Structure 1
Amino acid sequence: MNSQPSALPTPETVLRTTLPNGLTLLVRENHTSPVAVLQGSFRAGAVQETAEQAGLAAFVASMLTRGSEHYGYDAFNATVENVGASLTLSADMHSTDAGITALAEDFDDLLKLLADIVRRPTFPVEHMERLRQMKLVGIQEREQDTASVAARRFSEALFGRRHPYGRAAEGYLDTVSALQRQDLLDFHARYFTPQGAVLVIAGDVEAGRVLDAVQACFDDWRRDAGLQPAIEPALRASGQRLHAPMPGKVQSDIVLGGYGVRRADPDFYAVRVANCILGQFGMMGRLGERVREEQGLAYYSYSAAVAEQEAGVWFAAAGVNPEDVEDAVASILAEFDRLGDEAVAAEELADSQAYLTGILPLMLETNEGVASTLLNMEWYRLGLDYLQRYPALIADVTAADVQRVAARYLDTKTCIVSIAGPDRLE
């Protein structure tokens, strides 16, 4: 292994190995500072819970740090805090994600701690009830936030609450209230396995020693993965306009758009460039320039293209004065139409492509950025040469590609429009 990293990780500078139990490890050495970072994902997420148990994966992830076979709650916190480290766990749609940041000299101890809480949690009852109350308060607060309500209604309209992509990952008051300790035990026993898990470690480490440490912590972990539930097709809803009345609020939030592309879709890169032009580049692209700056219709306005494993969404969001809701919606839809009807100018296209390739080295300036990027590459099977291929993938997107994907995925006749807030200023 090279002692100093090149500008971008390459296949030659990343150790990649898969243990016999199915866990994949990637290590990238960087000896410029005495810090080591781990980013990892286990294939246990919200897609594996039922609609009636919405919030279960998030509950399990939060409980992992509350007690394990060799570390009680106080011991866990002391182990992390006494060395100034951090260790986090959170549930996502398809995964439970782990993160460690520590001085290199303390990293092995944190790795042992992670292995114990992931493999041998105890789910203490007293902490479960305390955490449940915290989660219920968080859900109540979510229901009073106009941006959260608009986004949740948008997802529910696209996918339906029976579909994992359509329901709130943190759950609902009724579902979280009903979860029992046995539900958490069963979920962990069934879905927390080394098969398909990925751990990425970057920083002041020696790859061979890291491999030995990971094997010591995880190599004897043998557990068959539970059957992955099939994800039903989306409802393919279209053309809905939703309004969640929230009296007393002084701002309305808008989310509008439709289905996008999954991560493996051939249109992924065209959508990424088109979205940058629409609502990301500079001061949030065309939406920021037109809707917020020129027309003064929004406090913020941007767009996002989210590509999941099985589906995606492409949407715009804005926070506005309730009196300006209709004008803001019309303005955003007009930008959707313009992107699909008119070829983007060569300079605007080139600027967005330069931005999307230029941010890559910036993302890789930290160990956290390197670990996160390598994890994404492994999770989506992009290959260790992906960073070398990425600039060409972006540069190959043409103005015709941008216009084509905008016309297809941002069809204003089929958009879902979700609004949360008062009907007017009260």
Structure 2
Amino acid sequence: MKRLLKSLATIALTLGLLLSANAMDKPTTWTTEEGASVYYLNLPELPILDLIIALDAGNFRAGDQHGLASLTASLLVKGTKNQDEETLIETMEGLATSITAGSNTTQTTIRYRSLTDEEVLTPSVDLLLEILKSPRFDEETFNREVAQIIDAQKARLDNQNSLASEAYYAMLYPGQHLGSTSEMLVESLKKLTTDDLNAFKERYYHSNNAKIIIVGDLSLAEAKTLANRISETLGTGEAQPAIDETPLPSKGETKVIAFDSPQSRIMMGHPAIDRFDPDYLALFVGNHVLGGSGLTSELMMDIREKQGLTYGIYSYFAPSFLKGPFTISLSTTNQDVDHAISETKKLVKRFIEEGPSEEALTRAKNNLTGSMALDLDSNMKMASALLSIATYQLPLDYFEQYADNVNNVTREMIQAAFKKHVDVEKLSTVIVGGYQETP
């Protein structure tokens, strides 16, 4: 066992060195008979396989049964009909195989890693299929997981950053899934049963609701055999409607939450774009200059270095299938809150009007294109990149063309995109701390 684990670690390190200098090749794609979309990339340098099964079974699909999608994913890998949780862990360890599952807003992902030596791969794949076909959903394990999540949610009430984030999203997305709260999650969890997990799996864990990403030392024929076995195990199910949750227009509100702290946490922003928006790249590159590049960003250089109002400030866009927000986040002393917010808004407004300097834009492009090798320096990172291509229907050569696309972004494109999608007057603001509003 220790020898196998050591082999995996050595292989992962060596693979990173081999891949770091190479762009991603164009993947091969096909659709299985049951309807699963497959994306395959052959990396024969080392005997390792990484696989992702992505299902349109995220938290959004659970409706008002908050926590159901995440619980289903979590318990999926905690026992099968033939193996309890402890036995399953021992089986995976014996095969040096990793199988994990998790859920976010829009997807459930099952991630699998194994050596491709036939003596290991054959029983390892059989184990994956057993997990997909017959999870145990044990009552005792279910109750333990629910209790842990509830305890974690209670702990969030003592965390300033968590309070700010929850209140911020609730303000931006009232009555919608992105705006759900810890209280809503806890109340939902208390009502869930293992029957709900089985029903959720039966409804959403199907091939025609899945994308299969295969990266590693498998031939095309072997990859097709593997994809077919997974697809047949999942079977077909009812087609699901497209995810659609349109946020309400931002009103530029401010909410203050009292929290015993010498500093206040500030989050401000408004719903902006989904990942399919044609302005995504211009906004991404522009934000790298504005607030996404750490100490060298304009927000950090001005609000922190020049004015000394914070230790850290950053901005980001968070698009997915849904219109995610443009967000600015910082902390400052309670007495400096009003001044920090005012100065931040002034800077963002100036950035929208003037755009980045050519020097700053060139620096951002060099940083973004130069870091691409590190973003694709492992099997699993390659698989995750392919999942992005599959999920957001990007061109198959997206990462091959990434550097050229980034370098083609102009100041004018950034200005136009920010003017269209960011409105300083409509930034809603959440302040959590000892700040006292001025009467």
After TM superposition, the score normalised by the length of structure 2 is 0.88
Specify the code of the residue in structure 2 equivalent to 1:102: S
Specify the code of the residue in structure 2 equivalent to 1:288: M
Specify the code of the residue in structure 2 equivalent to 1:259: P
2:40 maps to 1:27: yes
> Which aligned pairs between 1:9-408 and structure 2 lie closer than 5 A?
9-11=24-26, 14-51=27-64, 53-105=65-117, 106-160=120-174, 162-168=175-181, 172-225=185-238, 227-228=240-241, 231-247=244-260, 249-283=261-295, 285-408=297-420
Specify the code of the residue in structure 1 equivalent to 2:24: P
Instruction: Verify the 8 A CA contact 2:34 2:232 in the aligned structure 1.
Output: yes
CA distance in structure 2 between the partners assigned to 1:275 and 1:170 by the alignment: 33
- In structure 2, do the counterparts of structure 1 residues 70 and 405 end up closer, same or farther at CA, with 3 Å as the change threshold? same
Moved more, 361-370 or 69-78: 69-78
Q: Secondary structure at the match of 2:393?
A: coil
Instruction: Verify the 8 A CA contact 1:190 1:226 in the aligned structure 2.
Output: no
Instruction: Verify the 8 A CA contact 1:55 1:170 in the aligned structure 2.
Output: no
Moved more, 191-200 or 63-72: 63-72
CA distance in structure 1 between the partners assigned to 2:223 and 2:135 by the alignment: 24
- Structure 2 unaligned residues grouped into runs of 5+: 1-17
Task: Using the TM superposition, give the Cα deviation of residue 107 of structure 1 relative to its aligned residue in structure 2, in angstroms.
Answer: 4.1
CA distance in structure 2 between the partners assigned to 1:70 and 1:210 by the alignment: 27
Alpha-carbon deviations, 1:44-93, whole Å to 9, x = none? 01111223x11111111111122223332122211222344432111011
- In structure 2, do the counterparts of structure 1 residues 107 and 240 end up closer, same or farther at CA, with 3 Å as the change threshold? farther
Instruction: Work out which of the residue numbers 420, 423, 429 in structure 2 matches 1:417.
Output: 429
CA distance in structure 2 between the partners assigned to 1:318 and 1:101 by the alignment: 38
Task: Using the TM superposition, give the Cα deviation of residue 414 of structure 1 relative to its aligned residue in structure 2, in angstroms.
Answer: 0.5
- In structure 2, do the counterparts of structure 1 residues 18 and 278 end up closer, same or farther at CA, with 3 Å as the change threshold? same
The alignment yields a C-alpha RMSD, in angstroms, of: 2.4
CA distance in structure 1 between the partners assigned to 2:345 and 2:48 by the alignment: 47
CA distance in structure 1 between the partners assigned to 2:183 and 2:111 by the alignment: 19
Q: Secondary structure at the match of 2:331?
A: strand
- In structure 2, do the counterparts of structure 1 residues 187 and 201 end up closer, same or farther at CA, with 3 Å as the change threshold? same
- In structure 2, do the counterparts of structure 1 residues 168 and 97 end up closer, same or farther at CA, with 3 Å as the change threshold? farther
Task: Using the TM superposition, give the Cα deviation of residue 108 of structure 1 relative to its aligned residue in structure 2, in angstroms.
Answer: 4.2
Q: Secondary structure at the match of 1:172?
A: helix
Specify the code of the residue in structure 2 equivalent to 1:143: L
Alpha-carbon deviations, 1:303-342, whole Å to 9, x = none? 1111111312111111333333223222321221121121
CA distance in structure 2 between the partners assigned to 1:104 and 1:411 by the alignment: 52
Alpha-carbon deviations, 1:361-389, whole Å to 9, x = none? 22112112111111111111112121233
CA distance in structure 1 between the partners assigned to 2:101 and 2:298 by the alignment: 36
Instruction: Verify the 8 A CA contact 1:270 1:397 in the aligned structure 2.
Output: yes
CA distance in structure 1 between the partners assigned to 2:281 and 2:200 by the alignment: 35
Instruction: Verify the 8 A CA contact 2:262 2:333 in the aligned structure 1.
Output: yes
Instruction: Verify the 8 A CA contact 1:45 1:91 in the aligned structure 2.
Output: yes
CA distance in structure 2 between the partners assigned to 1:288 and 1:110 by the alignment: 48
Task: Using the TM superposition, give the Cα deviation of residue 29 of structure 1 relative to its aligned residue in structure 2, in angstroms.
Answer: 2.3
- In structure 2, do the counterparts of structure 1 residues 212 and 221 end up closer, same or farther at CA, with 3 Å as the change threshold? same
CA distance in structure 1 between the partners assigned to 2:182 and 2:96 by the alignment: 30
Instruction: Verify the 8 A CA contact 2:132 2:233 in the aligned structure 1.
Output: no
Specify the code of the residue in structure 2 equivalent to 1:398: T
CA distance in structure 1 between the partners assigned to 2:151 and 2:358 by the alignment: 50
Instruction: Verify the 8 A CA contact 1:278 1:335 in the aligned structure 2.
Output: no
Q: Secondary structure at the match of 2:425?
A: coil
CA distance in structure 2 between the partners assigned to 1:254 and 1:195 by the alignment: 42
Identity across the alignment (%): 24
After TM superposition, the score normalised by the length of structure 1 is 0.90
